[in-house]
Amino acid sequence: MPLVAHNDLPTFGKLRQDGLLVLEPGPAYQQDIRELHIGLLNMMPDAALAATERQFFRLIGESNPIAQFYVHPFTLDALSREQSARAHIEKYYDSFDQIKQQGLDALIITGANVIGADLSKEVFWDELNQVADWAHENVTSTLCSCLATHAVMDFRYGEKRIRQKSKKWGVYRHQVVDASHPLVDDINSEFDVPHSRWNDVHPEQFEARGLKILVTGDDGCVHLATSPDGFRTIFFQGHPEYDTISLLKEYKRDVSLFIDGKFDNYAPMPEHYFSEFNAAVCREYEGRVVQSLALGKEIPEFPEHLILGNLKNTWQDTASAVIGTWLGLVYQVTNVDRRKPFMEGVDADNPLGLE
């Protein structure tokens, strides 16, 4: 069943324009269908706040047709925001106190734009710990994306992320390495996932804490893993929620930062993302930018219009399948009263009955 537009969040209207079925509350209330209430802790910076909403709302709305999905976005007070983003949050987001009071069936914690390796020095560290600890005790399953994975691995398992020599940025091939888990039952054994990160938690760190690694990349990096019980916490290191144009927007942003003198070197292109044509367009533009800067001339406009029509999305179907399976599992093991995470007779230490 579809998402339910339980408030006036503009994301609902944009998803409708994209063809996603979104119900108004009136028709939703008339249907005798169970609800699932999903929290979205959105820690992304202002420029990506609304886009991140849409990405995760879309994955939820395209998932397993078993329930009506109420998604409750919220954020952390410690994160610095511009006035427009604060107004958006105040109008459309719940507070963490409201989230705790109403309860959730599941929680998604997004990444954040943080480069430094030591997350404990970030202003949001204590608040994020509070949310994750509350969810661990009160929510059936929490899905952590990228930085959220690094944070939980740090404060719950004592495994700190490691700064890499270069940014892992682009679209990469991955393989299922543990096909016994239901999360990967209905997906291809090989598929693509976008990544955009400077830091990594290595496979040995997951294994040392008894976590279950389900998907790794060609370079051995972990993309998908779970807590030892197989379900209470789900870890993504990549960004399967990304839109087709997300990496293009990041590349364009980094090029602008170089032009503004904030980067010493011109932005590298994301790997395995651009076609040969798009790469040629970007190389030509780089040459024009460097020449214009050297001569003090006006910077030419970024040729986005030449690139957009040649972008391909090779990851979204798999992402939707994994999210759909995850929500289906949440539905199976969550009590109808969402304040009680597990149904009577379900083993909280092994809710999926994994061997």
Indicate which residues carry an active-site annotation. Answer: 146, 239, 241
Residue 73 CA to its chain's centroid (Å): 13
Give the phi and the psi of residue 35 in degrees, each rounded to 5: -95, 150
CA distance 340 to 151: 26
On whether the CB atoms of residues 38 and 107 are closer than 8 A, the answer is yes
Contact 214, 224 (CB under 8 A): yes
**Intra-chain end-to-end CA distance of the chain, in Å:** 31
Dihedral sign from CA coordinates of 288, 292, 297, 300: positive
Residue ranges of E strands in the chain:
3-4, 22-23, 35-41, 68-74, 106-109, 141-145, 162-176, 190-200, 212-217, 222-226, 233-236
Q: How far apart are CA 4 and CA 210, in angstroms?
A: 37
Residue 92 exposure: Cα atoms within 13 Å on the Cβ side: 20
Of 125, 333, 319, 105, the C-alpha closest to 224 is 319
2: left (phi over 0), alpha (psi -120 to 50) or beta: beta
Distance CA 137, CA 141 (A): 10
Rounded to the nearest 5 degrees, what angle is found at the Cα of 258, between the Cα atoms of 254 and 264?
115
Residues 6+ apart with CB under 8 A from 124: 43, 76, 78, 79, 112
Query: What H or E segment, with its residue span, contains residue 169?
Result: strand 162-176
